[in-house]
Amino acid sequence: MSDAQLIRCQNCSALNRVPAEKLLRGSKAVCGRCKKPLTGIQPVTVTDATFSALEAAPLPVLVDVWAPWCGPCRQLAPVVEQLASELAGRVLVAKLNCDENPVTAGRFGIQGIPALLILQNGREVDRIIGVQPKTEILRHLMPVLT
């Protein structure tokens, strides 16, 4: 995976390039200049070819299964982005476009979107179907956060 996120430090305004591989390993992103933790981390985009990296992630994983034509998926996207930033270092948040990655979507039996999969140690432990409020998503994540 060679995708990287550009994240501006809230403390010193430095622009930091954070490799997706680092986030997949569960490493906490810190500013290269001031060494403060970075906020504003976005979900990592995964594909059929790169999904196996999520299964080896040391952190619990929240996978947003979506499609670009899906209105409810677009409605849920800002909540997923907030969770990625707020739970950075505790939960890895990823996005999987089910139209472009039918093998993984089929493997998990995705029949309706948006679907949020919660993985721990490479196994699905919970699933949320449809648009849900942030508090409900956090309620589902609590067992893997403790």
List domains and CATH numbers for the chain. 40-145 (3.40.30.10)
pTM, to two decimals: 0.78
Which residue among 9, 31, 73, 98 is the active-site one? 73
Pairing mode, strands 44-46 and 92-97: parallel
Could you list the pLDDT tens digit for every one of the 146 residues in the chain? Answer: 456 677 777 778 788 888 777 766 666 778 888 988 776 677 888 999 989 888 888 889 999 999 999 999 999 999 999 998 888 778 889 999 999 999 999 999 999 999 999 999 989 999 999 999 999 999 999 999 86
Residue with tokens 């992630």: 57
Alpha-carbon gap, residue 59 to 87, rounded angstroms: 11
End-to-end CA distance of the chain: 29
Q: Encoding tokens for residue 118?
A: 């919660």
Reading across the β-sheet that carries 123-129, which strands appear in turn? 44-46, 92-97, 61-66, 115-120, 123-129
Give yes or no: 70 in active site.
Answer: yes
Q: Please work out, in degrees rounded to the nearest 5, the angle formed at the alpha carbon of residue 87 by the alpha carbons of 9 and 132.
A: 125
Give yes or no: 34 in active site.
Answer: no
